[in-house]
Structure 1
Amino acid sequence: MVDLAPVERRGRRERVAVVVGELTSPPYLAFGLLLLVTVRNAESWQQALTWGAVAALFASLLPLVVLLHRVRRGVVADRDVRRREQRPALLVMATVSVLVGVGLLVALDAPRELLALLGAMTAGLLVALGISMVWKISIHVAVAAGTVAILALLYGPLLLLGLLVVVLVAWSRLVLTHHTRAQVIVGALVGLLVAGGVYPALLGGATS
């Protein structure tokens, strides 16, 4: 059964795990990474504002709003979407939303790094969708791992120290019994391999 016990009734370890999960929620990580790449490539505040608004709206904010709306209506059990059968529809919606954002950003002559990031996000969503049809992985861990992979590609291998955060995220999912060890391990591998492979491929193998 899904544990819907209020946070205040949980122990200290569980409360810490909840906070970790909230701070590393996939929409938040996606939002931060999109803004970072946008500012990194923009030549003016107008460009940063335009590209950042479009990217954040379609790749982070809109999927989050739809998720919260479905939770409020009772269509989805909780914000973490712990029931596997409820995940595919949300993943399809998020994929379509990101693709719409990509189309708009291409029309706005957005930088290649930003488009490559959105391409990697789309690939990750499609892989997660395929897996979710038959099994459940930790999307929290997958997004955290993918974020670390892209940061390392952008700023150097020292950023792979961020994998310690991925371990922390995996720990939080296990403590809250949202996932098994296999599910967090596969989530981490999916995030690292998809982001680490698709992103540089879309950039032609190099980052600026």
Structure 2
Amino acid sequence: MEKYKIAKIISTITNPPIICIPLFMVICLTLSLKHNEDFLTLEIISLIFASILPMAIIMIWAKIIGTDNDISNRSDRYTPLIIGIISYFIGFLISLYMNLDNFLTCLLLCYSVNTGVVLLITAKWKISVHTTGLSGPNAALILLLGSLGALFAILYPLVIWSRVLLKKHTLSQAIAGGVQGYFLTVVEMYLFMNVLNLPISGIIGLTDSVLYILAIITTPVILGILSYTNKSKALFVIAELLCLALFVLFTPFNIWMIFVIITLTSILISYFAGKDFIWRDVLS
């Protein structure tokens, strides 16, 4: 029961409109310091269109259809997702019109597009909005802050565990949400700033950003694959050592250390979760 309560708390605070509040605050503060932008203006725009409006939509829709704020039924998610797409896109247009920081402008467009991708996937499969909602702004922080931004990824395996334990998602749905959120955000940020001629200075290169993402998702993906196959601890150790060797040989120290941190976090979560979480079976 104690684990369930902890999982519930984690799930609540990492609800996309909620977790984006502190993450966007860090993003806006960083932009204000790096690019001499007005923090308050950036924060108000991001708060309204990335948090308050989507949160209000979710709560109102959940009340209308008589369900929880997670909107657990896949078919009930279409309306809030569509309205969310519109909200993020309006935020993008306002940011563009007000000539706000190009990073925030592109990020709001990323939110709109990523939510559209989630909507398309949701038509067939209940991909995790929680892990998608975490990985998007986390990817933005990686672009801005590198390894410091990547440290927020310790939440990724925690959210995977909480959503699976609460039976809101399967393991694959929880992992996949993060994978697509991380990759789409980084690729789209570079795409939009070039296609829309919105140059952004002082961000991490595309190659290093992808390497950071690989450092974050590798262990959860390995644990996920083994959870669905033979649950072999020996295979996990071999795979992890091989990946560690590759990261140490071909990536900078700060990137492969993120891999180590996420790996240790994932293992600790697995042991804490015990038999209630399938990752533990792999490590038994």
TM-score interval for Structure 1 and Structure 2 normalised by the shorter chain: 0.7 to 0.9
Aligned 1:7-46 pairs, distance under 5 A: 11-42=1-32, 43=36
**Native 8 Å contact 1:31 1:56 kept in 2:** yes
Counterparts of 2:127 and 2:97 in 1: how far apart (Å)? 34
Question: SS state of the match for residue 167, structure 2?
Answer: coil
Residue aligned with 2:125, SS:
coil
- Equivalents in 2 of 1:119, 1:138: separation in Å? 20
Aligned letter for 1:200? Y
Shift of 1:32: 2.6
Deviation at 1:172? 0.2
Alignment equivalent of 1:120, drawn from 105, 110, 113: 110
Shift of 1:158: 4.8
Aligned residues: 195
- Structure 1 match to 2:68: 78
Where do 5+ consecutive residues of structure 2 fail to align?
Answer: 203-284
1:84-103 correspondence to structure 2 within 5 Å: 84-103=74-93
- Which one-letter code corresponds to 2:86 in the other structure? V
- Contact 2:27–2:141 (CA<8 Å) still a contact in 1? no
Q: More helix by proportion, 1 or 2?
A: 2
In the alignment, which residue of structure 1 is the partner of 2:172? 182
1:8 is aligned to: none
In the alignment, is the contact (CA less than 8 A) between 1:27 and 1:61 conserved in 2?
A: yes
- Cα shift at 1:206: 5.8
Counterpart in 1 of 2:192? 202
Per-residue deviation, residues 28-53 of structure 1 (Å, max 9, x unmatched): 22223333333333436xx3223321
How many angstroms does 1:146 deviate by? 2.3
Partner Cα separation in structure 1 for residue 189 and residue 132 of structure 2: 15
Q: Taking structure 1 as reference, are residues 50 and 163 closer, same or farther at Cα in structure 2, changes over 3 Å only?
A: closer
Q: Deviations over 1:139-193 (max 9, x none)?
A: 1011222232221111113533433210000000011011101111211211111
In structure 2, the CA distance between the partners of 1:115 and 1:70, relative to structure 1 (3 Å rule), is same
Q: Which residue of 2 aligns with 1:135?
A: 125
**Identity of matched residues, %:** 26
| 2:47 is the counterpart of 1:56 | yes
CA distance in 1, matches of 2:120, 2:201: 29
User: In the alignment, residue 30 of structure 2 is paired with which amino acid?
Assistant: R
Aligned residue identity for 1:67: I
Q: What is the RMSD of the two structures over their aligned residues, measured on CA atoms? A: 1.9
Q: CA deviation at 1:135?
A: 1.0
Q: Measure, in 1, the Cα distance between the counterparts of 2:85 and 2:168.
A: 23
Q: Distance in 1 between matches of 2:107 and 2:138?
A: 13
Matching residue within 156, 169, 176 for 1:166: 156
Shift of 1:202: 2.5
TM-score normalised according to structure 1 size: 0.85
Tell me the CA shift for residue 83 of structure 1.
Answer: 0.5
Say if 2:85 and 2:115, in contact at 8 Å, map to a contact too: yes
Indicate if the aligned counterparts of 1:18 and 1:172 stay in contact, CA closer than 8 A: yes
